[in-house]
């Protein structure tokens, strides 16, 4: 008994048990519940939202920390500048030009200082290196005029200054390189195809329902622009934690979700919104998951749409993701396409709309087994030998104990064999 202080085992051994006071656990520990299907404790009965790996707008929620070899970024300086945020790009753009002008302005000022042009410029017969250059400010302005080819005509280099001619050549060449690099960075940054991805839409939710007697995972994609995405293709990844048989824990394991790459259905003609379907079959990671099990799973589905921008020919990629709570079981997408006079009308107000439909809550594996059994039963019935036709007898009462029912096969019809011992004895050929 629970109140006894001794426990008897096989009536031969007595084990002394000293009752101890049970300590009251903290509130957050008392609310913990042990899951019947998992071995760990769940502190909150409500499943906490999973941290996204990819945001809805396509940004990857990953931060690279403790990078030691930062010099690798300088080996690809152009890409580094293009990848910077706009405020940093504009700051570097301005800083590079200002520093370049200041540097060459300082060199022009040093030349004028060494030649003595700052003190003898007003003397008759004195030929300075640069006319009307009498201070650092004027040297800085001359540097800007030289590199930007403004040419006001007030400050001009003379032919009796070989060091100035050499410096002019160097500044012209380096200025062209700086212009090419900085303008090129700005042009590439402005024309980046990721801006084209802003007009590619993904439905807010993914749904699971039956298509052609098979459970399918579906989501919708669309393009708002009239210019099309050429060679558009789509793929999907399932991201969830996994533990191998050897005990290795993989926190963000990636698994391919087949959305038609073996049949070519992943190649899209994205003129109007399309519903992308993943058939949950034996190769699907959702094959053995029912609706109840799906609600307990923690996963994220990342979808990637790629193609070339028709206007520029550059490759564009749009991304989105669906958490486990954003995959709804037993729903379908509302149609958005209607036929008008001479054209098809797309209603983007209903792009994200869904409606509920009758869907079995069992797993795709169980549904397939049920459908197979339903198809095999008629086949087996048709192979059963047909019973011999009874002799023509007079109908007897329905209370006759000799009345029997015979299954005639696929049609499920029932026949009755009516007879009696006396009637059978009267038939010829029967003993």
Average pLDDT of the chain, as a whole number: 78
pLDDT value of residue 131: 87
220 and 348 together in one domain = yes
The mean per-residue pLDDT over the stretch 71-83 comes to 83
89 and 203 together in one domain = no
Residue 18 pLDDT > 60: no
pLDDT value of residue 351: 95
Q: How does residue 46 score in pLDDT terms, banded at 50, 70 and 90?
A: low
- Over the stretch 207-229, which tens digit does the pLDDT of each residue have? 999 999 899 999 999 999 888 89
295 and 347 together in one domain = yes
Q: Which of 62-71, 350-359, 372-381 has the lowest mean pLDDT?
A: 372-381
Q: How does residue 240 score in pLDDT terms, banded at 50, 70 and 90?
A: very high
Residue 258 in domain:
yes
430 and 326 together in one domain = no
The mean per-residue pLDDT over the stretch 136-152 comes to 90
Residue 319 in domain:
yes
The mean per-residue pLDDT over the stretch 179-191 comes to 89
pLDDT value of residue 48: 64
Query: Higher model confidence: residue 427 or residue 274?
Result: 274
278 and 293 together in one domain = yes
316 touches 307 (CB < 8 A): yes
359 and 227 together in one domain = yes
Query: Higher model confidence: residue 138 or residue 76?
Result: 138
The mean per-residue pLDDT over the stretch 12-35 comes to 41
Residue 35 in domain:
no
* C-beta atoms surrounding 135 within 10 Å: 11
Instruction: State the residue for tokens 């792009």.
Output: 351
pLDDT value of residue 228: 87
Where residue 321 sits, what CATH number does that domain have? 2.60.40.1400
286 and 184 together in one domain = no
Q: Which of 67-76, 99-108, 415-424 has the lowest mean pLDDT?
A: 415-424
Q: Pull the structure tokens for residue 246.
A: 């050897």
Residue 49 in domain:
no
Model pTM? 0.64
pLDDT value of residue 408: 40
User: End of a domain among 143, 164, 190?
Assistant: 190
Alpha carbon distances (Å) from 132 to 101, 110, 140, 171: 18, 15, 12, 19
360 and 231 together in one domain = yes
Residue 374 in domain:
no
Where residue 98 sits, what CATH number does that domain have? 1.10.287.70
Domain span including residue 413: 387-431
Q: How does residue 119 score in pLDDT terms, banded at 50, 70 and 90?
A: confident
DSSP character string of 309-328: ETTT--EEEEEEEEEGGGEE
118 and 210 together in one domain = no
Based on the structure, what is the number of domains in the chain? 3
Q: Pull the structure tokens for residue 99.
A: 């520093």
User: End of a domain among 190, 222, 257?
Assistant: 190
Query: Higher model confidence: residue 72 or residue 92?
Result: 92
Residue 61 in domain:
no
Residue 5 pLDDT > 60: no
Residue 301 pLDDT > 70: yes
Residue 408 in domain:
yes
204 touches 237 (CB < 8 A): no
H/E stretch holding 370: helix 364-383
Residue 413 pLDDT > 50: no
Q: Pull the structure tokens for residue 349.
A: 């107000």
Query: DSSP strand E in 194-314: where?
Result: 200-202, 206-211, 214-223, 229-243, 249-257, 267-268, 274-279, 300-309
Query: Higher model confidence: residue 50 or residue 33?
Result: 50
268 and 359 together in one domain = yes
Query: Higher model confidence: residue 274 or residue 64?
Result: 274
Residue 304 in domain:
yes
Whole-number Å distance between alpha carbons of 403 and 396: 9
296 and 326 together in one domain = yes
User: End of a domain among 365, 397, 416?
Assistant: 365
Helix, strand, coil abundance in the chain, percent, nearest 5: 30, 25, 45
């Amino acid at each position: 008994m629970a109140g006894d202080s001794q426990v008897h085992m096989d009536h031969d051994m007595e084990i002394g048990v000293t009752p101890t006071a049970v300590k009251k656990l903290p509130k957050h520990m008392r609310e913990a519940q042990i899951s019947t299907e998992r071995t760990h404790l769940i502190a909150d009965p409500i499943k906490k939202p999973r941290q996204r790996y990819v945001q809805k707008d396509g940004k990857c929620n990953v931060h690279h920390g403790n990078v030691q070899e930062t010099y690798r970024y300088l080996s690809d300086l152009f890409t580094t500048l293009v990848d910077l945020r706009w405020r940093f790009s504009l700051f570097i753009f301005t800083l590079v030009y200002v520093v370049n002008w200041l540097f060459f302005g300082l060199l022009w000022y040093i030349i004028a200082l060494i030649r003595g042009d700052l003190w003898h410029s007003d003397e008759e017969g004195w030929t300075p290196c640069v006319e009307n250059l009498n201070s650092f400010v004027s040297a800085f302005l001359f540097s800007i005029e030289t590199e930007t080819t403004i040419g006001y005509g007030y400050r001009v280099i003379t032919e009796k200054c070989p060091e100035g001619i050499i410096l002019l050549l160097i500044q012209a060449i380096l200025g062209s390189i700086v212009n090419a690099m900085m303008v090129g960075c700005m042009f590439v940054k402005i024309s980046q195809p990721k801006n084209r991805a802003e007009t590619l839409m993904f439905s807010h939710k993914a749904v699971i329902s039956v298509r052609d007697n098979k459970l399918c995972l579906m989501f919708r994609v669309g393009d708002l622009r009239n210019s099309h995405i050429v060679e558009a293709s789509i793929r999907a990844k399932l991201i969830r934690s996994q533990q191998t048989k050897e005990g290795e824990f993989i926190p963000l394991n990636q698994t391919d979700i087949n959305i038609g790459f073996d049949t070519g259905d992943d190649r899209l003609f994205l003129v109007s919104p399309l519903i992308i379907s993943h058939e949950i079959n034996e190769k699907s990671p959702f094959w053995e998951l029912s609706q109840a099990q799906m609600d307990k799973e923690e996963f994220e589905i990342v979808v990637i749409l790629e193609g070339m921008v028709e206007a520029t020919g550059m490759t564009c990629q749009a991304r989105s993701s669906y958490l486990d709570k954003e995959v709804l079981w037993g729903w379908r997408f509302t149609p958005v396409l209607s036929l008008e006079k001479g054209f098809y009308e797309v209603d983007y107000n209903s792009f994200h709309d869904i409606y509920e439909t009758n869907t079995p809550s069992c797993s795709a594996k169980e549904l397939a087994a049920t459908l197979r059994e339903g198809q095999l039963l008629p086949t087996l019935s048709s192979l059963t030998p047909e019973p011999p036709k009874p002799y023509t007898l007079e109908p007897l009462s329905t209370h006759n104990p000799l009345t029997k029912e015979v299954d005639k096969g696929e049609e499920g019809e029932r026949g009755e064999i009516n007879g009696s011992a006396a009637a059978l004895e009267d038939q010829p050929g029967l003993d």
